[in-house]
Amino acid sequence: MKLIDPLSIYALWLRDVKRFLRTPSRIIGSIAMPLLFLVFLAFGFSGASIPGLPAGIDYLQYLVPGMVGFTMLFGASFAGLSILSDQDVGFLKEILVAPVSRTSIVLGRIAGGSTTALVQAILILLLSIPLGFRVTSLLSLPLALVFLMLIAVTFVGFGVALASQFSDSEGFGLVVQFVIFPLFFLSGAIYPISSFPTPVQALALINPLTYGVDGLRAVLVGASEYSLALDLGALLVSSVVMVGVGTYLFERVEAV
């Protein structure tokens, strides 16, 4: 049995993508909350004096990268939910007993979850344009895509790792929501980290989403709190670590 089987990874990726695209309600539901946050916050705080906001950047420009990052966090983390739904219908047991390595299964899940999360983030980015959002340079979009993929891989890996420890989707959903919102609010997605108290800033610095949002803000609107190299390096480390943790924990899932 191969440690990594590209055909198995592709098959699982294709299954997740098809299942996502064939359920419009899931697509709409996945972008509804970030879009509501974007609309109400952008217009509600339009023209307000927000401490720490970069000079020359209005709140909409500042907020959109944060909402794109939140969309990635929300969509990618819930990718683990598909593992539990597959467990309920018996599909998970079938792939676990198949002659395919657990590593290939995890990589296929991560590829599928990352792709669907990326679609959701791009939709939010496109919907923000009629609201007045403008990218500073179209040449920055490929680098923005790199940041989006690293955010997706990090949090899909997190979702897989967490789902491997649960046997029911209800418990998983509650824990994910308990984790998602602190990560979101500590990432600087809706207000500058420099306005946090010092102990809270320390917590923000160990949050991978902080560097994802900051990197997106740097390449999309030209404003960031950290260097691009730091943002990229932190996300590379977090993505490798979470894929490793997800694979390690999934290896211990029993086919029952």
Domain annotation covers residue 78: yes
- Main-chain phi, psi angles of 42, to 5 degrees: -65, -45
pLDDT of res. 1: 46
pLDDT of res. 99: 77
Domain count, the chain: 1
Q: Which residues of the chain fall below pLDDT 50?
A: 1
pLDDT of res. 219: 92
Domain annotation covers residue 16: yes
Domain annotation covers residue 146: yes
User: What pTM does this model have?
Assistant: 0.89
Range of the domain at 142: 6-42+55-251
